[in-house]
Structure 1
Amino acid sequence: MRAVVVERPGGPEVLVIAERPDPVPGPGEVVVRTGAVGVNFKDVYEREGRTAAVAPFVPGCEGAGTVVAAGPGVSAPAVGDRVAWWASPGSYAELVTVRADAAVPVPDDVTDADAASVLLQGLTAHYLVTSTWPARKGATALVHAAAGGVGRHLSRLLADSGVRVIGTVSSAEKAGTAAAAGVTEVVVREHGDFAARVRELTDGRGVDVVFDSIGRDTFEAGLGVLARRGTFVLVGAASGPAPALDPQSLAARGSVFLTRPTLVDHATEPEELRARAAEVFDWLREGRIRLSVSNTYPLAEAARAHADLQSGRTTGKLLLRPS
């Protein structure tokens, strides 16, 4: 099979296409022929050496396709079933080994591309607004990168729940995308101090919650716009890891809360994963979640996909097509 391989940590140029042996499913596993593969910042962190992945390795974790082989003890999914996954290492390949209990059934009315586009980002938005900070009518939220994949889903779900959403974007070109996703006030970060603008928009009170997927560049200022007993949710680190913080400083900021949740702790148990995924697919049908694919690349152009993702110019999901 063909796969994308990281021979050493580095920039997008270290992603190269190579022939690898076809995988054989072990106990509790299935092998899936991939129809579409999601490209995520997690893959960038792997490529750069910021995770435990040891080169050489095949990056990627999210995709959708058709089961072609099942290992011992697997009764479901069966050969021929369509499934999606969000946490299977080595997904930048024509064939991927997936734990059977981590394979989500894909409804007939959802394509492989749609499933690979929505699963990881949709599940992330789902647990953020239902578990981490249950959305409540009348509250005010600040969503960074509101035109990005998770940001758009998150903004729309919050707005649908009656939350006022203030969203930041990296450039004026992305303002319309954020507004279409339910953001009430769009703040362009390149135009100046976003924190001052947020305080102005909230008459100095601050926001009830901050969802920050940027990290280093927005962390300190974001903590400063929380209302008393507000919640800061660190979702990611697109600009780099957030700086170290003395927990005592949270008291001085108004007894605020700081959390760094992950999808691993919200969608690992098979029952919880399938329940959340089923609701995400329902939201997709209902229009509460809307898909936007910025670009689709051949497997051999994974390096270009990573470069585009890190450029900050994309507003929708990026996909790889193995065939």
Structure 2
Amino acid sequence: MSVAIVISQPGGPDVLKATEIALKEPGPEEVQIQHKVIGVNFVDIYYRSGLYPAPSSPAIPGFEGAGTVKAVGSNVRTFTPGDRVAYTGNPMGAYTELRNIPAGRLIKIPDGVDMQTAGSSMLRGLTAHMLLHKVRHVKAGDWILVHSAAGGLGQMVTRWATMKGARVIGTTGSAAKMRIAQAAGATDVLLHTDAAWPDRVRAIAEGRGVHLAIDGVGGTLLSSTLSVVRPFGIVASLGQPAGPIPPVRVEDLGFARSIALMRPSSIAYADDADLYRQGTEDLMFALQNGLENHIGAEYALTDAAKAHTDLEAGHTTGSVILTV
């Protein structure tokens, strides 16, 4: 038996229930892992709340974790019991002590990367890789705007972009979080609650605006974000914890602005085998060579509802994890 956090119907954090489930032996192409660390992300909240439809009912949330191999299927040759492994992406189902998962989803955790770092970095790290290598191939001298720069993804993007020589302007929702964004490497940090922030971003970025703006906040913030991108730059809209995003007219992107708007999916990125392989290789190399991932909050697996409550309320900074 394995303890899992199960959603039987959409709703608030209280719908997350600890349940004992029976787990079969891994299939021929599967690996059974004993979780040590499970990442908590806003995409989990979207599935829990019903914003995104769950693949089944009941469902186990979660797209990210790390642990040790307990057993392997008959056709698996790349892993053996005891290996340290991590993953992100489909299939959903990380909030559990034990799980069976396709072998192709797993990567081995290299020497020099601890289990907590690996388990809390996979989704955010792959998302950062997507933003900095696929959405825009960021290079030295680029200007990047990162909303929620004190959050887990915001800090990861800021640190990795800075390692590549880019200059990051961060925004936060409170003065208390500004120091966190600065410590992650942002050259300037602004409050996105200050109506003057778009003017300040354009002024800081050489009077022309940023090359890439990353909006993981949503709500009405996106319309202002479009105004701070220089011609032929791009805005990446990643999430909407602040609420639904009003429609954007294509006329708002050009001709005078000549900018692009993308809604990239980190799960789709992870589900592409080639992008997943390259992205996770680059991520592990970066983690071995100075890229840090700050863990801001840690909860027991059975306290998943509390983790969701705190993340939704904006009470956390950095990555949020469950431990087994």
With the shorter chain as reference, the TM-score category is over 0.9
Per the normalisation by structure 2, the TM-score is: 0.93
Per-residue CA deviations over 1:156-183 (Å, capped at 9, x if unaligned) read: 2222323221110111011111111111
What SS is found at the alignment partner of 1:248?
helix
Gaps of 5+ in 2: none
Q: How much has 1:215 moved relative to structure 2?
A: 1.4
| Correspondence list, 1:304-315, <5 A | 304-315=306-317
Distance 1:314 1:267 in 2: 25
Per the normalisation by structure 1, the TM-score is: 0.93
State, as a whole percentage, how many aligned pairs show the same letter. 37
Gaps of 5+ in 1: none
CA contact under 8 A between 1:5 and 1:16: conserved in structure 2? yes
CA contact under 8 A between 2:18 and 2:302: conserved in structure 1? yes
Q: Return closer, same or farther for 1:222/1:253 CA change in 2, 3 Å cut-off.
A: farther
Distance 1:130 1:61 in 2: 22
Aligned AA (2:68): T
Aligned AA (2:7): V
Distance 1:290 1:320 in 2: 19
Aligned AA (1:18): T
Aligned AA (1:29): E
CA contact under 8 A between 1:23 and 1:96: conserved in structure 2? no
Distance 2:206 2:85 in 1: 48
Which of 177, 180, 185 is matched with 2:180 structurally?
177
The aligned counterpart of 1:234 is 237
Aligned AA (1:95): L
Q: How many pairs does the alignment contain?
A: 321
Which of 297, 300, 303 is matched with 2:299 structurally?
297
2:40 pairs with 1:39: yes
Distance 1:66 1:161 in 2: 32
What SS is found at the alignment partner of 1:190?
coil
Q: How much has 1:291 moved relative to structure 2?
A: 1.9
CA contact under 8 A between 2:220 and 2:246: conserved in structure 1? no
Per-residue CA deviations over 1:228-271 (Å, capped at 9, x if unaligned) read: 22211112222233222222331145111111112234333445
Question: RMSD of aligned C-alpha atoms?
Answer: 1.8
What SS is found at the alignment partner of 1:266?
helix
Per-residue CA deviations over 1:107-131 (Å, capped at 9, x if unaligned) read: 2432221111111111111121112
What SS is found at the alignment partner of 2:287?
helix
The aligned counterpart of 1:104 is 107
What SS is found at the alignment partner of 1:166?
strand
The aligned counterpart of 2:57 is 55
Per-residue CA deviations over 1:88-111 (Å, capped at 9, x if unaligned) read: 411100111211011111124322
CA contact under 8 A between 1:147 and 1:169: conserved in structure 2? yes
Distance 1:141 1:128 in 2: 11
Q: Return closer, same or farther for 1:44/1:3 CA change in 2, 3 Å cut-off.
A: same
The aligned counterpart of 2:162 is 159
Q: How much has 1:204 moved relative to structure 2?
A: 4.4
Distance 1:174 1:247 in 2: 34
Q: 236-245 or 163-172, which moves further after superposition?
A: 236-245
CA contact under 8 A between 1:23 and 1:31: conserved in structure 2? no
The aligned counterpart of 1:197 is 200
CA contact under 8 A between 1:29 and 1:99: conserved in structure 2? yes
The aligned counterpart of 2:139 is 136
2:267 pairs with 1:267: no
